[in-house]
Structure 1
Amino acid sequence: MFALLLLVVGGAALLLLSMDGGFAGLDEGQFAHLVYFGAWGLLMAGGILALFRGRLFGALRDLMVWGLVFVALIGVFAYSHELKGVGDRVLGVLMPGRAIEVAGSGGTQYRVVRSGDDHFHVEGSIDGRPVTFVVDTGASMIALDTVTAERLGIDTAGLNYRADIMTANGVAKAAMVKLDEVRIGGIERRNVQAAITEGRLLGGTVLLGMSFLNTLTSFDFRRDTLVLTD
């Protein structure tokens, strides 16, 4: 192998000295680089053959396996963004209520898969505290009951329950408040109007009503998917 390496390098050197205007489309510098890396390749190949002498087939098999692993890792890195999107979509199906960001021509979009009870439950937060909303286009604003509001750290002392709000279950008496922050995925809104109903009227459910939905560029129901566009 060493003799072959010397022969190749020597022949290449002679060819390089006699070159005038390049060789096979390569200029002198490119050809010199080719010879340099080719020589190192031959040297490494010779070392591998010497190391695995007697079990060449196993060595070639191992090299092929590692080569495939390397190609796979490069592929994962190159398509990491696309693979993340696929993973998010799978999680969206397996975990209804998870807001999955998708590319949209009209702005940032989030998709939510319908839950088994035929409602759209959306994970989000109110004033930094996690909450699961139920989308209700029949509710004029975000609505939650007093017990849930207190759990979320909202001060309910002195509330006056004299306003009428429309929910899917009809008209309810409520007190008007402003929520400092409402967030779903990367969609954030400040000073969002909300209604707090007395006691446990909503049974712990937090309705995502029109006071939030109307701030979006659009919201669309596409069969079993809700699309929120910021």
Structure 2
Amino acid sequence: MLLMSNIEIGNLAYLVLLTAAVGFWFFVSNRNSLGKTLQQAVIWGLIILGMIAVVGLWDDIRSTVRPTQAVFSDAGRIEIPRGQDGHYRLTLEVNNTPVTFIVDTGASDIVLSKQDARRVGFNPDDLPYYGRAMTANGEVRTAPVRLESVSLDGIQDRNIAARINGGELQQSLLGMSYLQRYEQITIAGNRMILIR
């Protein structure tokens, strides 16, 4: 059941009263040409509903038109566009499961969040967190694991060392233990280019 706070109820009541007042004024001032007035009111109503729909669906629209990673595996070249937040994201198949990573040249290892670790076949609650890592938020415990396979559009690596973050990591990190497998890492314009 959806509950509204007193402030939300007050805001809703204000908007309803404001809409009723504007509608009443509009109706009274245009009573001589009521048919045309109703037609214009319907058009404006549809425009407003369209704007509300765009605002409500903005995240879905943005993710649809946002540039995605371009992979050119025949030449061993991968181009990753920079996201709106300034990060480079790359989706890899880890143990045959797609995982989206933030490409982090400041991270030493591949670091999986607990959520991604579960998705690729690990139970984070049963792992020994004896490793330590320093982050911007302080020290976190990590559990070392081995990934059976890590692949990207035909480029596949097996038996890869990784760590599972014992803290609250929002998105998995693709660190230097994987990136060093590429001969060249370049940032040009709004793209990161990896060449194998």
Give distance in 1, aligned partners of 2:66 and 2:89: 10
Q: Provide, for residues 94-140 of structure 1, a one-character-per-residue CA deviation record: whole Å limited to 9, x for no partner.
A: 5434232177xxx5111111111110011221111011111011111
Contact 1:110 1:185 in 2 (8 A): no
Give distance in 1, aligned partners of 2:178 and 2:85: 23
The equivalent residue for 1:189 is 157
Deviation at 1:169, TM superposition (A): 5.0
Of 171, 182, 185 in structure 2, the residue corresponding to residue 216 of structure 1 is 182
The equivalent residue for 2:67 is 96
Q: Which amino acid aligns with 2:117?
A: A
Change (3 A) 1:160 1:120: same
| Structure 1 alignment gaps of length 5 or more | 1-93
Partner-residue secondary structure (3-state), 2:126: coil
Give distance in 2, aligned partners of 1:209 and 1:193: 11
The equivalent residue for 1:62 is none
Give distance in 2, aligned partners of 1:216 and 1:209: 12
| Pairing 1:144–2:112 present | yes
Change (3 A) 1:182 1:167: farther
Runs of 4 or more consecutive aligned structure 1 residues displaced over 6 Å after TM superposition: none
Contact 1:165 1:195 in 2 (8 A): no
Q: RCO higher in 1 or 2 (8 Å CA, sep ≥ 6)?
A: 2
Deviation at 1:211, TM superposition (A): 1.2
Change (3 A) 1:170 1:136: farther
User: Alignment length, in residue pairs?
Assistant: 133
Contact 2:114 2:169 in 1 (8 A): no
Of 154, 169, 181 in structure 2, the residue corresponding to residue 202 of structure 1 is 169
| Structure 2 alignment gaps of length 5 or more | 1-64
Change (3 A) 1:166 1:210: farther
Change (3 A) 1:166 1:125: farther
TM-score normalised to the size of structure 2? 0.60
Change (3 A) 1:134 1:124: same
Could you say which structure has the larger radius of gyration? Answer: 1
Of 105, 109, 122 in structure 2, the residue corresponding to residue 154 of structure 1 is 122
Q: Provide, for residues 129-187 of structure 1, a one-character-per-residue CA deviation record: whole Å limited to 9, x for no partner.
A: 01111101111101112232112222435311121124565542100111111122332
Give distance in 2, aligned partners of 1:131 and 1:115: 16
Larger strand proportion, structure 1 or 2?
Answer: 2
Change (3 A) 1:125 1:167: farther
Give distance in 2, aligned partners of 1:168 and 1:182: 27
Give distance in 2, aligned partners of 1:127 and 1:134: 18
- The RMSD of aligned alpha carbons is 2.3
Give distance in 1, aligned partners of 2:146 and 2:117: 12
The equivalent residue for 2:195 is 229
Contact 2:111 2:175 in 1 (8 A): yes
Partner-residue secondary structure (3-state), 1:216: coil
Give distance in 2, aligned partners of 1:170 and 1:214: 25
| Pairing 1:133–2:106 present | no
